[in-house]
């Protein structure tokens, strides 16, 4: 029809008023009405009036339900403006009458995914890939649905399909990240390495390459990759913080704590008040150290908080509610520091992130030393100071706190259970790790730890408490976790020995090493007792 061509020409030229007028002149013609309504919908869409656009295009489809092209455009528009139920209804109707239309299947799958139906979404997106196997976007969207359904290996296969059709660095990045989710670190590392070779300026590529190397246990190479990412993006908080994590693993605590001053700038970790720069006098003479992350980090670093009294008349430590009773009643004297909950911090308070505290104190000229490893900063809990000494008849009292996790197979779990069978007269004491830690439970855990000669645990909180109390500990740490513990005694605590699993399937070597070390430790101790 002549009017359709004229109206579309005006629309594409940006002459929306003229296009609208042409359509309104013929809208009463029953033969031309569906096209006129459809173009009026496109005009409204161009003007940003999405509700009106959707209404016009629905009327166009109702006026001629057999026109698949208009129904497809209606479904695509509904999805674009977030009207997912409309998108699903019209695209399903289109497919019922027109067969497998790749674009309709793809949009329908994405709409179902947004509506929270991943399995139905996967069905449509798989059909989209079958109908258009050379369409890279179809593969990429299918991968997104698989990831939403917690099927990372299927997602990786779909991303490989996308990469075959349209090789690019962003697909390589998504592929590597998906393989990391699946625990296939070696393949992820290979893709990240390929990515940074293709694009040496890709910051996120270097960042994830470093993460994969670190999780595989190649910490020094990871440091080089993270340094490269931080160099290329000096204002990227994530790059700086990941560099800090790797520096910690290598025992470079001075450098790591300086990098951790970037932590409050991470998305989602906005400080509860105004950050203190270590120079400006705090508001109203009050200074609050806050801890919103791993409880073990709080336990490790809270001993530094009283040092803030050099710069503030009133010092406060704000922590998770469960930690407040422990720190208030056991470790920090009431006249030194007030302990409160994070929720009680006022927006106008002057605050410092507890992980940034060592570097901030150093910049401000405070009395802190970070050479080598840090001495334990926590004092023995009052309740544990009078704890009864282990019996002289016991060669070695070992506190065991090892729980199976999702990375352990059945053989690993059996090996963990055998840790309770102590060799050479040593006695195992089962330490109970509180799932929902309250202050009283944490104090009780501290009391148990204080009575042990050695602690074996795969819980970071228990490790930090043992390290802070000066009790020797063997930490069984999954790959990529516990950077503050360092490696081989170069972390926060000189008395903590780290046994790190370098992959999700690497626990067998960890448990073999721990069992061998127990045999050696108890033999030495038994000889010492006999000699004494």
User: Is residue 474 predicted with pLDDT exceeding 90?
Assistant: yes
Q: What is the DSSP letter of 400?
A: E
| 69-106 tens-digit pLDDT | 888 888 888 898 889 998 999 899 989 888 889 999 99
CA distance 454 to 373: 20
Check: CATH 3.40.228.10 for 168-267? no
Judge whether 315 and 338 are in contact, CB under 8 Å.
Answer: yes
Residue 345: which of 387, 286, 401, 404 has the closest Cα? 286
**What b-and-e string marks burial along 244-261, b requiring 16 or more CB atoms within 10 Å of the CB?**
bbbbbbbbbbebbbbbbb
d(CA 458, CA 419): 12
261: Cα within 13 Å, side-chain hemisphere: 16
Distance CA 356, CA 299 (A): 14
pTM > 0.85: yes or no: no
Residue 302 has pLDDT above 90, yes or no: no
Hey, is 317 helix, strand or coil?
Answer: strand
At residue 334 the predicted structure's pLDDT band, cuts being 50, 70 and 90, is low
pLDDT in tens, 97-146: 888 899 999 999 999 999 999 999 999 999 999 999 999 999 999 999 99
- Give the confidence band of 369 by pLDDT, cuts at 50, 70, 90: very low
Q: CA 506, CA 407: separation in Å to the nearest integer?
A: 9
Contact 165, 139 (CB under 8 A): yes
**HSE of 36 in the Cβ direction (CA atoms, 13 Å)?**
17
pLDDT of residue 412: 82
| CATH fold for the domain made of 274-363 | Rossmann fold (3.40.50)
- CATH top class, domain 390-531: alpha beta
pLDDT > 90 in the chain, percent: 35
Where in the chain are the domains?
168-267, 274-363, 390-531
What average pLDDT score do residues 269-277 get? Answer: 89
The mean pLDDT of 490-510, rounded to a whole number, is 81
- Looking from the CA of 425 toward its CB, the CA atoms found within 13 Å total 14
Distance (Å, whole) CA 512 – CA 409: 15
Q: 402-438: per-residue pLDDT in tens?
A: 888 777 888 888 888 888 888 877 888 888 776 655 6
Check for a shared fold between 274-363 and 390-531.
yes
């Amino acid at each position: 029809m002549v009017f359709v061509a004229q109206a579309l020409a005006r629309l594409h030229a940006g002459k929306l008023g003229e296009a609208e007028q042409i359509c309104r002149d013929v809208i009463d013609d029953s033969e031309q009405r569906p096209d006129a309504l459809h173009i009026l919908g496109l005009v409204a869409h161009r003007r940003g009036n999405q509700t009106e656009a959707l209404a016009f295009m629905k009327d166009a489809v109702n006026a001629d339900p057999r026109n698949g092209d208009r129904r497809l455009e209606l479904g695509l528009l509904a999805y674009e403006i977030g009207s997912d139920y409309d998108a699903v209804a019209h695209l399903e109707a289109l497919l019922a009458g027109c067969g497998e239309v790749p674009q309709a299947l793809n949009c329908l799958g994405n709409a179902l995914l947004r509506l929270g139906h991943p399995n139905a979404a996967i069905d449509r997106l798989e059909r989209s890939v079958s109908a258009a196997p050379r369409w890279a976007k179809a593969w990429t969207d299918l991968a997104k649905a698989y990831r939403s359904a917690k099927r990372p290996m299927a997602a990786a296969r779909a991303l490989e399909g996308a990469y075959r059709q349209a090789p690019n660095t962003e697909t390589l990045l998504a592929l590597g990240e998906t393989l990391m989710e699946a625990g296939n670190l070696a393949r992820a590392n290979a893709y990240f390495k390929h990515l940074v070779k293709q694009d040496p300026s890709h910051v996120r590529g270097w960042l994830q390459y470093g993460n994969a190397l670190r999780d595989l246990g190649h910490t020094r190479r990871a440091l080089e990759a993270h340094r490269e990412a931080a160099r290329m993006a000096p204002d990227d908080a994530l790059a700086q913080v990941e560099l800090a994590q790797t520096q910690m693993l290598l025992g470079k605590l001075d450098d790591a704590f300086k990098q951790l001053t970037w932590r409050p700038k991470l998305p989602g970790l906005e400080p509860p008040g105004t950050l203190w720069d270590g120079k400006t006098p705090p508001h109203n003479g009050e200074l609050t150290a806050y801890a919103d992350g791993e409880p073990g980090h709080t336990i490790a670093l809270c001993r530094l908080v009283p040092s803030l009294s050099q710069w503030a008349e009133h010092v406060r430590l704000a922590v998770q509610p469960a930690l407040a009773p422990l720190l208030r009643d056991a470790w920090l004297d009431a006249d030194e520091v007030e302990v409160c909950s994070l929720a009680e911090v006022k927006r106008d308070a002057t605050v410092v992130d507890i992980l940034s505290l060592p570097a901030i104190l150093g910049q401000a000229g405070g009395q802190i030393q970070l050479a080598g490893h840090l001495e334990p900063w926590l004092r023995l809990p009052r309740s544990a100071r009078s704890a009864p000494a282990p019996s002289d008849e016991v060669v070695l009292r070992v506190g065991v706190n090892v729980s199976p996790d999702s990375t352990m197979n059945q053989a690993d779990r059996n090996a963990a259970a055998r840790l309770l069978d102590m060799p050479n007269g040593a006695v195992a004491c089962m330490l109970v790790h509180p799932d929902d830690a309250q202050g009283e439970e944490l104090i009780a855990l501290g009391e148990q730890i204080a009575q042990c000669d050695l602690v074996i645990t795969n819980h970071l909180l228990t490790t930090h408490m043992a390290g802070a109390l000066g009790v020797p500990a063997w930490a069984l740490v999954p790959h990529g976790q516990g950077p503050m513990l360092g490696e081989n005694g170069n972390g926060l605590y000189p008395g903590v020995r780290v046994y790190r699993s370098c992959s999700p399937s690497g626990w067998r070597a960890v448990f073999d090493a721990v069992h061998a070390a127990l045999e050696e430790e108890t033999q030495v101790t038994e000889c010492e007792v006999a000699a004494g």
